[in-house]
Amino acid sequence: MFTGLIEATGTVLSLTPSAGATRIVVSAPKLASRLKTGDSISVSGVCLTALDITHTQFAADLAAETIARTTLSKLRPGSVVNLELPTPSGSPLGGHVVQGHVDGTATLLGIDPIHPDARETTDWRMRFALSSELTKYVVMQGSITVEGISLTVASVLGDVVSIAVIPHTYAVTSLHTLAPGSLLNIEVDVLGKYAEKKEAAGHFELTESYLLANGY
């Protein structure tokens, strides 16, 4: 499990399609030395298995489902990705419950400074278009994962979701590298999906005992 608090950014070194899985290689000098073969790592919100690790980089294989559902196969050498290692059991949950299981992609409409004359210290407003299949799980002031980042929803108007981004998040993640039209990996709050399933089966109450029984 992840929390959506990005530990470092990495840079895509290569993306190599094959008859089987597509191999991605990521430069990650701040995190690679902490990995061992088979470890999970979140790459821009996608849970991958680290392989061929050195002190400065790692590789991972992208399955067909990952290619179909996420943006990773569309990255190019030089693309910046957000990285997070799994949260150890018992650690504080700083963001929210993030599985690294991307639900789909959204299209960035804009990410604009609130105070254009103070770009180093301003907060930012990010807007993206999301399918109705996913917007039903998005609520104002609720949590959402965008490119692996745990963020809080500011508003939902039709299929347009707005997010308030603080200066620190904008500066230390891949967000400052994105332009309108970029595709974003989106993972909605899994608790909303559990609630929908339980409500379909009958009365459901999101109690503390339910959360504990399901590992939250």
Q: Are residues 112 and 167 part of one domain?
A: yes
Q: Is 15 a member of any domain?
A: yes
Q: Is 89 a member of any domain?
A: no
pLDDT of 212 reads: 52
pLDDT along the chain (216 residues), means of 10: 95 91 96 97 98 98 95 96 90 84 97 94 97 94 96 97 97 97 95 76 56 54
Q: Which of 55, 84, 113 is the last residue of a domain?
A: 84
Q: Is 196 a member of any domain?
A: no
Answer left, alpha or beta for residue 98, where phi above 0 means left and psi between -120 and 50 means alpha. beta
pLDDT of 145 reads: 97
Please, are residues 120 and 168 in contact by the beta-carbon 8 Å criterion? Answer: no
Number of domains within the chain? 2
Side-chain-facing half-sphere of 17: CA atoms under 13 Å: 9
Cα 137 from Cα 42, distance rounded (Å): 22
The sign of the dihedral angle between the CA atoms of 28, 34, 37, 43 is negative
Q: Are residues 108 and 37 part of one domain?
A: no
Q: Are residues 125 and 163 part of one domain?
A: yes
pLDDT of 1 reads: 87
Q: Is 200 a member of any domain?
A: no
Q: Domain limits at 114? A: 104-189
71: domain CATH number? 2.40.30.20
Which positions are catalytic?
2, 40, 47, 49, 63, 101, 152
Q: Is 118 a member of any domain?
A: yes
Q: Is 91 a member of any domain?
A: no
pLDDT of 214 reads: 55
pLDDT of 194 reads: 77
pLDDT of 95 reads: 80
Q: Are residues 147 and 111 part of one domain?
A: yes
The whole-model pTM stands at: 0.89
Q: Is 205 a member of any domain?
A: no
Q: Which of 28, 55, 84 is the last residue of a domain?
A: 84
Cα 200 from Cα 134, distance rounded (Å): 17
Q: Are residues 79 and 113 part of one domain?
A: no
pLDDT of 89 reads: 73
